[in-house]
Amino acid sequence: MKLISFCVGKNDYFGVAVKNGIIDLTSIVFDGRKFLDLSDAISADGGLSSIRIAVQEADGVDFSFDEITYKLPIPRPKKIFCVGRNYRTYHEVREDGRPEWPSIFPRFVDSFSAHEEAIIFGKDDGDKLDYEGELVAIISNHARHVQKNEALSFVGGYTIANEGSVRNWIGRGTQNCPVKNQWRSGSMGPFLITADEIPDPSKLNICTKVNGEIRQNGSTDMMIFDLPFVISYISRFTPLEPGDCICTGSPGGSAIEHDPPKYLKPGDKLEVSIDGIGILKNQVEPEA
């Protein structure tokens, strides 16, 4: 299923996206209870089965795509983790060999814009705005000390991220938090595709375009640390909770890798597509 979080006017909703619109799930009662949001829905026992029944029984759609504003698929995740340099295409990986451990760092939720929402070109040392198209796994159940062979059973669905970076801030201190967490420098969405629709997340094409020009074109089979390992590894140092998001790394071709670098600028249109999930679209706008 294609699940979606959205708003109409000042009201927040979540539902199922179908061909001709959206079936609202916000007010539907499932086994005597209402789901609070998509995180709640994908984690509840029988939640997805209940949603499928609701879709089958729905009398048409409740909203058209034209009348909604997209939100992040999980609007308020407790944790967002990213895996740095996780593809074999990066020159550091080619020159130095496979790292022994993955590079894991967190991102703030407000560092991401939703689908069709502007990516912000910051006015304070923000002109080296980069893009990185990535597969995102969304956790559906409490996960702690998970074995690799069981890890995918804790994934409720997948979405797309542009894990944007502001490269001006590289080297300012010993960590990359300012580089990776600038306000609305990245994006995520448009949908949460349930895990049953993606039987093998290691065989998905990722393509990033800027103004129609292909900048990244790779496959998730190029990951150094595959998703099951990453989930298992993160669960060793912190519990994963329903709605937590894991951005799994990006294939080569980001702006900084070009000669000269092809950083994003105001007016640029960015598209990140992943097989079976859809296309994440954003335009770059200057900070007011």
The pLDDT tens digits of the residues spanning 206-230 come to 999 999 999 999 999 999 999 999 9
Q: 97 and 58 in contact (C-beta within 8 Å)?
A: no
Q: Dig out the tokens for 30 from the structure.
A: 């499932």
Question: Which parts of 195-266 are beta strand (E)?
Answer: 205-210, 213-219, 245-247
Count Cβ atoms below 10 Å from residue 257 Cβ, excluding itself: 15
> pLDDT tens digits for 88-104?
875 555 556 678 999 99
- Quick one: tokens of 282? 């954003």
Residues 6+ positions from 133 with CB-CB distance below 8 Å: 160, 161, 162, 163, 206, 207, 208, 216, 250, 251, 272, 273, 274, 280
Domains recognised in the chain with CATH numbers: 2-70 (no CATH), 80-286 (3.90.850.10)
Mean pLDDT of 71-96: 84
Entry pTM: 0.95
Among residues 180, 213, 203, 189, the alpha carbon closest in space to that of 85 is found at 180
